[in-house]
Amino acid sequence: MAQLYTLDKRSLFSHVRGELSLKLYLSTTEEVKQVVSGNAAAGGVVSSGNSNGNSSSKKNKKLQQQQQTNGTNMVVPMDQENKVNFQNQNHSKQVEPVPGDIKPVVITTVPGSIIPAVSGGHAVGGGGGGGGGGISLYSSGQGEFSLKETSPHLGGKDKTSSTYDLVEQMQYLYVRVVKAKDFSFFGGGGELVAEVKLGNYRGITKRVVSNHAEWDQVFAFSTDNVQSSVVEIFVKENNKDDFLGRVWFDLNEVPKRVPPDSQLAPQWYRMEDKKGDKSKGGEVMVAIWFGTQADEAFAEAWHSKAANVHFDGLCSIKSKVYLSPKLWYLREKGSSMMRYPELFAKVQVGNQVLRTRVSPPSATRSLSNPFWNEDLMFVVAEPFEEFLLVSIEDRLAPNREEVVGRVLLPVSSLERRLNEKPATSRWFNLETHLGNPNDPKTVVRFASRIHLRASLDGGYHVLDEATMYSSDVRPTAKQLWKPHIGVLEVGVLGVTNLVPMKMKEGKGGSVDAYCVAKYGQKWVRTRTVVDSLSPKWNEQYTWEVFDPCTVITIGVFDNSRVDKNMANPVAGNRDSRIGKVRIRLSTLETDRVYTHAYPLLMLHPSGVKKMGEIHLAVRFSCANMVNMLHMYTMPLLPKMHYVQPLSVSQLDSLRHQAMNVVATRLSRSEPPLGREVVEYMLDHDSHMWSMRKSKANFFRLTNVVSWFVIMSRFLDSARNWHKPVHSALALFAFTILVLVPELIIPCALLNLAAVGLWRYRSRPRHPPHMDARLSYAESSYPDELDEEFDSFPTSRSAEIVRVRYDRLRSVAGRIQTVVGDMATQGERFQALLSWRDPRATFLFVIFCFFAALGFYLVPIKWVVALWGLYYLRPPRFRNSLPYSVVCFLKRLPTRADSML
């Protein structure tokens, strides 16, 4: 008979109720035992090893023989799993699963911990041989989102001749077509093109006039896709199939170049015409060689894998290095003198606009002399192209203002300030001819001046990213920079198992992936690998490190400008996000190469999804360990942030302005780095409300305070004498420390040092990565995710907004109760001396008199010792009722009685 059991789960954020129906029975047969795991994410089946041989299939017998002989882990598809688990149920039909739904399963004959399978069908770690135990089946759950250590072949075979030692060497055939001469064809004039052909790959140069046939273009063919033993170069007339000249090279005779060797000098080669005659074929200047991605020509070369990219999209697939503009804080502070009431100042720099408050009346200053004395902060970038526009406006009505004067100042002419000394203030005449200054009918309504103190503050660090993920903390002014302490090298190897992002010409899912890395002012962008679900870049980049407590951000995107049908600038195509990784440099050991596959996780309205795995090789080299250790004692931000600190609201507003400035400047580069890429890398939406993030932060906080909970449980266990030996040792140690108080601080410090040395063996060996469980992404409800992806202001219906508002009120009510309880406890301590309860205050005052006399007569260490012995006394000498002090405090009045 099925029975119902009540399920109830309470937390600060939710209260879940439900019922579970279970049917419990006792089976006497031992042939088949099914045990359902309690973990829903890794649900598996444990089957006994004693199966009926008559009912087993041949595959099952062969599978059991392999298990008995090998005794190791192996992976089988889901259909075999069904046959193994239900081999004794002959009456049921075998249901063949859909191929797309098959998941790898690890079968182990070793009892103990279950080893999850890795995506791709390979087991993690080695399986032990060993006896007994049943067969445990486990599908990949949390292991899918975990970090994996890899062993790529870095640096190639000859590492001494390789300049890229953090990436795998990729061999390319480079063909440089410089120019041609002595070509003549019917009609004279016209345009010429050169075509480089290697098997099925063809590269065509730009069109040039025949009397000045100079191309100077490089073509790169990957040796992995070489389909011919010769490479051919043709010179053709534009829009014609017949060639005017042809020359070919045997790949076995092509030389190999390894940087830092100088570039191979191009040479003139005589070409043959269609009849094979070299006397009329003309000449072409060509250089051909084998090289790697370390070659100088690699970045600007035409790649064979980009053969299907249209001409306008070729520039968007090249690898580039970008530099963020140097950002400055512009501080404007002013007062004015004029003859109008209700006046305020509006200051504009570019598209940034700030307003002062309306000048209030003052007893010492008349309305004709308003005074603001407000600091307005802006973000400007070098080179300074903007103007500082200060306009004085009169508020005639709630929604009506009139400009009564203005002054226009170029930003480049402002004073630059490097420390806390105030800049020089100046008086400026306000322009009153707001129309045409040459118009004789213009009437001067008033004349006045404004007092401004404007400066460019170079002592601050302009934050364009979240403070917790900051990659650079140096001040803006280069004069205040300190020497770098190390070098960060990152090898971007590639991505595997990418999820298709778009459909291409009916061929199925495809991805045109590229990678972007940001550290400090330097942004790097790899080339775009066209139409590949496992792109390989093998590009290496270097950054100077000025502070070890910084973070490098690496993101992967899908290029939307490659396909001609999708690349429509009018439609505003955006590069799709695939995922990103953050690596904190302080978590890396110096001079060690970390080679790992990081999961690329993206949060969608349907839940968290793994988009692929990016393979990186990271090395942090330190020039001077003493300088690095000294950095840990220095302030994180420059001195100006502490001498003249900015408010939290100011920093949030300035960060948003800085992000817009950086996105605007980088979008004007070639190829442009899209605004959507910059916003994703800089976490522009990190301040938005999310129920998922609130839960994750709450559990992070509970994890932090768990140490205090553990200590309180230990004290409670020692106090209740659950383990008499531990309680006796705790009592003995407490007595020693009380009698010899000089040992308290040394013992505490030695204890911390011993714990630190003990945990050195179990220290993290791998860099951190995006954790789906820590982010509370796996346990979020669909409505919470839909709320997180909602726009601001909301675009959902009124009913959905009402439900979310009620849920938020419920959560806020619990938080309100907790805050009220904390305030109540604090007010009870305040009530000890407030005489709100005269009898309680009288008792407390009398107790203080007698306690003062007692502490004067009795040494403090004896008082503490007696209190400790009383607190740690065995339970048989203890009363179960609360202490009198606790009862006294709970009876004190609070201000909660006066609340409505």
- Per DSSP, 682 falls in state T
Query: Is the CB of residue 140 less than 8 Å from the CB of residue 257?
Result: no
User: Both tokens of residue 41?
Assistant: 């994410």
Q: How many CB atoms lie within 10 A of CB 870?
A: 10
Question: Which residues, given as ranges, of the chain have pLDDT below 50?
Answer: 12-13, 30-141, 159-161, 338-340, 437, 440-446, 567, 569-571
Q: Quote the pLDDT of residue 367.
A: 55
Nearest to 368 by CA among 342, 398, 405, 345: 342
- Amino acid letter, 716: D
Measured distance CA(616)–CA(601) in Å, rounded: 16
Query: Is the CB of residue 214 less than 8 Å from the CB of residue 207?
Result: no
Characterize the bridge pairing of strands 576-584 and 551-558.
antiparallel
User: Both tokens of residue 591?
Assistant: 């001079």
Measured distance CA(80)–CA(85) in Å, rounded: 9
Q: Quote the pLDDT of residue 40.
A: 39
Measured distance CA(535)–CA(529) in Å, rounded: 6
Is this model's pTM higher than 0.85 or not? Answer: no
Bridge-partner residues for 694, per DSSP? Answer: none
Measured distance CA(381)–CA(265) in Å, rounded: 42
- Per DSSP, 459 falls in state S
DSSP assignment of 627-645 equals HHHHHTTS-SS-THHHHSP
Query: Is the CB of residue 894 less than 8 Å from the CB of residue 832?
Result: no
Q: Quote the pLDDT of residue 335.
A: 60
What number of helices (H) and strands (E) belong to the chain? 14, 39
Q: Quote the pLDDT of residue 99.
A: 36
